[in-house]
Structure 1
Amino acid sequence: MPPTLDEFKQLLATKQVREIAEEIVIGGDAIHVSNEQLQFIQDEICAKFGLVKNDLTLHVVGSAKLGYSIVEKTGQESGFKPRYRSYRHGQSDVDIAVVSGKLFQILWHELAVYSHGSRPFPWESKRLGDYMLIGWLRPDHFPKIPSPSKLASWSEVFRSLSTNHRLDYKKYSGGLYFSRQHLLRYHERAILECQHLENKL
């Protein structure tokens, strides 16, 4: 099981950032999602996009993985959410990091087609483009394209997961990363922020 919050803070002083990202934040079991449930999610995503299991890997991240979040969030949509907040049943999202260069390129292609058809050109992707630069497609910033489309399919599959009894009717959210390295780099930033915070105390 993942370390407790106190244990995690101790590890910040004794382990390398990449080690913590690999072994704790990305690797290992999740507290609030079983391996069987994660396999079911993978099967559903593969079926939706016509992929095979080797085309993608999944990781539970955030508070559903550790029991607490290591990222502080601020924003107009969600408001302020402090670092180290606990997972709360019925309120916290279950965040799934999907790592798939193949699926990334499928959705990237559809975004490119959308941009070429937009006026003015190029389409102003705003935060979607900002995150895409670091190898992360944020589906919550996708343009509103009606079904049938691959972009709409992403929302459809995660809405379906959130109403599935096999997944305990939790709210599932997904982010798509081009590679494991892109996923690790993002979480290494969060770990470094935690280290800096603890060093100030």
Structure 2
Amino acid sequence: MPGQEDLKADLLSLEPKGFYFKHIVKSHNWYFSDYLHIPQDEFVDKMDFFKEIVSTELGISFHSLQIVGSAKTGYSLSPHKLFRPFHDEIPGQPSSDIDIAIVSDKLFQQFWDELRTIKGIWYNQRYYNRLTESIFRGYINEKDLLEIKGPCERWENLTRPINVSLQDKLGFIHPITYRLYRSWDDLEEYQIIGISKARRYLEEQGNV
């Protein structure tokens, strides 16, 4: 897996879309190879099993999901914690999350339709701003669903069996979080915006 210096060099030298394809889309995965220490000859089978568990429980295509974030690369690409290593829980700081992107227009539309019927949330400015911004960009955060009665219970019923299976059958020990995307284009756009911000931050810090 690429190390911190490799990621930094690629972040500065590659176009954001090139970085996205090289480090986010391709099949290598830091959590599987470096944390779970899955042997190379078992890697593809384990990744396929991971996809099978998630896609079966959610009723989506086998290829409609992607691990992103620091569990994917080993390091955070968020500007405010750029290149912070994926870590276990330490004093005063929770462990890193395993971030899973779910790409499903059907699920996105189902939850968006449900959210639209819960009129009370639109009178809460915090919910309104956060939800409308994310939905406009083609995604729904799990953390928003979990704060709203109705969608919260339905989402938990969908993901609870996944989390249990990933822990029991694949050895995942870190919190699992999800973001629901309308399309692969929306996921790509979200990731490229984040990569572009990280690159600008790195350049401003004088690391060119």
* Structure 2 residue aligned with 1:42: 51
Contact map agreement 1:97 1:176 (CA 8 A) in 2: yes
Partners of 2:176 and 2:121 in 1: CA distance: 34
Which ranges in structure 1 are unaligned for 5 or more consecutive residues?
74-81
Task: Indicate conservation of the 8 Å contact 1:145/1:151, yes or no.
Answer: no
Give, as a single letter, the amino acid of the residue that structure 1 aligns with 2:134: Y
| Structure 1 residue identity aligned to 2:66 | H
Q: Secondary structure at the match of 2:31?
A: coil
The structure-2 alpha-carbon separation of the partners of 1:108 and 1:101, relative to structure 1 and needing over 3 Å to count, comes to same
Aligned counterparts of 1:122 and 1:47: Cα–Cα separation in 2: 36
- Alpha-carbon RMSD: 2.8
2:108–2:182 contact (8 Å) kept in structure 1:
yes
What's the CA shift for 1:108?
1.8
Is it true that 1:174 corresponds to 2:178 in the alignment?
Answer: yes
The Cα of 1:185 is off from its aligned counterpart by: 1.2
What CA distance in whole angstroms lies between the structure 1 residues aligned with 2:114 and 2:153? Answer: 8
Aligned to 2:36: none
- Residue equivalent to 1:76: none
SS in 1 for 2:133: helix
Q: Is the 8 A contact 2:139 2:179 kept in 1?
A: yes
- 1:88-127 aligned at under 5 Å gives the runs 88-90=87-89, 91-113=95-117, 115=118, 118-119=119-120, 125-126=127-128, 127=130
Query: Aligned to 1:110, what secondary structure does the other structure show?
Result: helix
Contact between 2:74 and 2:86, CA under 8 Å: does it hold in 1?
yes
Q: 1:138 to 1:15 in 2, by over 3 A?
A: same
Counterpart residue type for residue 71 of structure 1: S
The answer to whether the 8 Å contact 2:57/2:162 transfers is no
Shift of 1:162: 5.9
Q: Is the 8 A contact 1:136 1:176 kept in 2?
A: yes
**Does the 8 A contact of 1:70 with 1:191 survive in 2?**
yes
Alignment of 1:126-165 (within 5 A): 126=128, 127-142=130-145, 143-145=147-149, 150-157=154-161, 159-161=163-165, 163-165=167-169
Question: Following the alignment from structure 2 to structure 1, what is the Cα–Cα distance between the partners of residues 109 and 151?
Answer: 19
Counterpart residue identity of residue 45, structure 1: V
Report how far residue 6 of structure 1 moved: 0.9
Aligned equivalent of 2:92: none
Q: Which has the higher helix share?
A: 2
Asked if 1 retains the 8 angstrom alpha-carbon contact of 2:60 and 2:104, the reply is no
Please give the TM-score of this superposition, normalised by the length of structure 1.
0.77
Residue 130 of structure 1 and its aligned partner are, at CA, apart by: 2.0
Percent of pairs identical after alignment?
Answer: 20
Corresponding position of 1:27: 26
Question: Which SS does the other structure have where 2:6 is aligned?
Answer: helix
- Confirm or deny: 8 A CA contact 2:68 2:101 kept in the other structure: yes
Count of matched residue pairs: 187
Query: How far apart, CA to CA, are the structure 1 residues paired with 2:71 and 2:172?
Result: 13
Q: What do the CA deviations read for 1:47-106 (whole angstroms, capped 9, x no partner)? A: 333x2435x521111111111001035xxxxxxxx2210011351111111111122122
Q: Does 1:64 align with 2:71?
A: yes
Identify the range of structure 1 (101-110 vs 57-66) with the bigger mean alpha-carbon deviation.
101-110
Indicate the SS of the match to 1:29: coil
